Structure 1
Amino acid sequence: MVTPRVYLDGAATQPLHPAAREALLAALDDGWADPRRLHSEGRRSRALLDGAREAIAAVLGVRTDELSFTGSHTQAVHAAVLGVAGARRRAGTTVVTSTVEHPTVLHAADHVAARGGGARSDVAVDRTGAVDADTFAESVNTPGVSLACLQFANAEVGTRQPLEAAATAAAAGGVPLVVDLSACAGHVDVRGARGDVLVADPQSWGAAPGVGVLAVRAGTRWAAPGPEGDGPEAVPGGVSVPAALAAAVSLEAMVAGRAAREAEQRALVERVRRGAAQVPDTEVLGDDVHRLPHVVTFSCLYVDGEALLSELDRRGFAVGSGSACTASTLEPSHVLTAMGVLSHGNVRIGLTPATTGADVDAFLAVLPDAVATVRRELGVEGL
């Protein structure tokens, strides 16, 4: 008998939404042509692309003409950070970020600083993963700051950031704010998210790979960071219309059932938090209240994270880890390190719309023995 698999790694990448799959297949037939062409096939692709843009813009709370598609979330982040920095070289070369931003944001900020002879100014976080609003405001209002970056919420531990206060401080100092909505859009209401530039990752709401979202609000100074074209949607090779349409359809589907799903997922996450806390020498991470509804992370002492993920995978559960270890670097998660919490033996759960209470109960039933098994294999059982 084959044990059913349970996918619990939806913090950053959700399974392809059924609505997205249907839209993707349909668009492969109707949206394959270059939307920049003037013939009938091109105009049909353009109509699909414009419809996708309008739908996503409405959910994000931006104007349709402010939103562009890129080839990936990484490309959207690079365009956001480098584009704003390029337009504000005379203002300064310092980029303010939190210490728990997505690595793509931090790398882009480092590139800006290195290219302009400036620096990346990191704002520390507390043990929940949140920045102090006053400290962020002080950093933003330091002379020589080109732009600031702050995520809506952290994808590893789910903690939401004090975005409203940060945006107010940035606006008071005349500093553009880049806001990363990855892991948030489709799961919580982001229409009120303030920010001069927004980026989002459609894969986090169940879309197909091959597309990212960039929104540059009117009045924000932005300069194309690359040689391709003169606008934000200058994607080398062109925008994938099928991927963009699938992103729009899946986002609308996620938003349509969000209220009921959010309540259910918060209850399931709370169940995971309580269950994980019962495992000996385990710390549940992130803010208890101000958090995403579908993400929960915990760390187990005396456990190797990779070994624990492999053990859980063997038992039929696909989970993530904030440890982010790779064979080449063997470095722990920069997020957990910045928080000052245990960064090894980490398990990150990301619920999907298909996750049930039975899935969570089954996971919690095997978790204690899985942890004990890894500890026993490492020779640290009973410490």
Structure 2
Amino acid sequence: MTNAAQGSPTPPPRYLDAASSEPLHPAARETLLAALDQGYGDPRRLHRPGRSARLLLDNARAVVAEGLGVRPDEVTFTASGTDAVHRGLLGLHRARARVGRRIVHTAVEHSAVLHAAAWTGDDHDAAPVDAHGRVLVPELLARADGAAVVAVQAANHEVGTTQPVSEIADRLDGVPLFMDACASAGRTPLPHGWSAAAASAHKWGGPAGVGVLLVRKGVRWSSPFPRDDRVDDRTSGFENVPAALGAAAALQAVVAERASLNARHAALVDRVRASVARIPDTDVVGDPVDRLPHLVTFSFLYVDGEALVHALDRRGFGIASGSACTASTLAPSHVLAAMGALTHGNVRLSLGRNTTEADVDAFLEVLPSTVADLRADVGL
């Protein structure tokens, strides 16, 4: 691509929105292309193509199980991370119908959890969080008494703060815990204690359209949707075997490299946090230590988030603003509101496998002037 006016190459955009979707990992691409010629059969069938597809699907399940530290029979491939969230939470809720109907969740859960809870038509309570976005454990436990299910995310998708999932699970008295791990799976090990969990392959560099539902062995879970006569009765529809294999290959590669990658990302995010904090009237949010290594969010007073996204995009940077789960509308973030933080003029920067130190340096170089220009446009 070239600049028509100058005849010079247009520099590639610097993608700083990996928390939304990581570019396809080379391991996933290679495996996916190879599997397209082998995994086309119906895994339910007894003929050779069907048996081949079943073996490939079972292999993908085993690789994902190893990467996430679970049993292969606890892994189900779904149509998306959102689908996995819905099936995981609602399946636990339905299985507890005789015990209770109320759902308890943190105030900063992804909208997929909030929508699923509202869809049931039953009562659902939101436990408050502190200024970093971490749930207040005593408040949540008080609400959990008599609940059907409790939902606590592994780490927040907007500000990166990790949640005390294991502590909460250890203190729940027989109430199952659903964990949305879409933001963290692959990047960090899963905590213990949850009954069902959800992950999303495109977050770790797998193909889009592959979710992962995890249901612990022995946990009571009942499908909330019409059943389908498939290989795995926790999901429905024809399994996308090549995509599942691609997701598994990406996860295996990411887990192998995550220690060094996380260390590099954490150092870069620390630099971003320190640099952005020097811009006047700026709120850097999320826990500075107990957080996802690759993600940071900050808000600028007197700046419109949509205008900031467009201004940075014109300068070659792809970033997120508004609520990370409703970014198409750029609606005020319910996560930031629950934290008592600025809900407008915010940016979520998230680093990917291919993000370089030069990318971060370039972003930090243009950010102050971009914010200053936008403030000047409104007379400040």
**Pairwise same-fold verdict (TM > 0.5):** yes
Contact 1:224 1:230 in 2 (8 A): no
Equivalents in 2 of 1:105, 1:208: separation in Å? Answer: 22
Equivalents in 2 of 1:283, 1:315: separation in Å? Answer: 23
Contact 1:325 1:332 in 2 (8 A): no
Which runs of structure 2 are paired with 1:98-177 in the superposition (5 Å)?
A: 98-112=106-120, 114=121, 118-140=122-144, 142-143=145-146, 145-170=147-172, 173-177=173-177
Q: How much does 1:234 deviate? A: 4.9
Q: How much does 1:330 deviate? A: 5.8
Task: Call closer, same or farther: CA 1:284–1:73 in 2, change over 3 Å.
Answer: same
Residue among 13, 26, 36 paired with 2:44: 36
Answer yes or no: is 1:217 the counterpart of 2:216: yes
Match for residue 200 of structure 2?
201
The secondary structure found in structure 2 opposite 1:29 is coil
Pairwise CA RMSD = 1.7
Task: Call closer, same or farther: CA 1:354–1:301 in 2, change over 3 Å.
Answer: same
AA in 2 matched with 1:220: V
Kindly provide the CA deviation profile for residues 50-99 of structure 1, in whole angstroms up to 9, marking residues without a partner as x.
Answer: 11101111122211111111111111111111111111111111001001
Answer yes or no: is 1:61 the counterpart of 2:69: yes
The secondary structure found in structure 2 opposite 1:283 is strand
Match for residue 379 of structure 2?
380
Overall identity of the aligned pairs, in %: 52
Task: Call closer, same or farther: CA 1:261–1:324 in 2, change over 3 Å.
Answer: closer
Contact 1:97 1:122 in 2 (8 A): yes
Q: How much does 1:327 deviate? A: 9.5
Q: How much does 1:329 deviate? A: 5.8
Q: How much does 1:233 deviate? A: 4.4
Kindly provide the CA deviation profile for residues 3-29 of structure 1, in whole angstroms up to 9, marking residues without a partner as x.
Answer: 231100011311111111111111111
The secondary structure found in structure 1 opposite 2:152 is strand
Which stretch has the larger CA shift, 41-50 or 321-330? 321-330
Which runs of structure 2 are paired with 1:1-383 in the superposition (5 Å)?
A: 1=8, 2-112=10-120, 114=121, 118-140=122-144, 142-143=145-146, 145-170=147-172, 173-190=173-190, 192-229=191-228, 233-323=233-323, 331-377=331-377, 379-381=378-380
The secondary structure found in structure 2 opposite 1:257 is helix
Q: How much does 1:313 deviate? A: 0.4
- Tell me the TM-score normalized by structure 1: 0.93
Kindly provide the CA deviation profile for residues 159-187 of structure 1, in whole angstroms up to 9, marking residues without a partner as x.
Answer: 000111111122xx111100111111121
Contact 2:158 2:323 in 1 (8 A): no
**Structure 1 unmatched ranges of 5 or more:** none
Contact 2:93 2:149 in 1 (8 A): yes
**Structure 2 unmatched ranges of 5 or more:** 1-7
Contact 2:306 2:330 in 1 (8 A): no
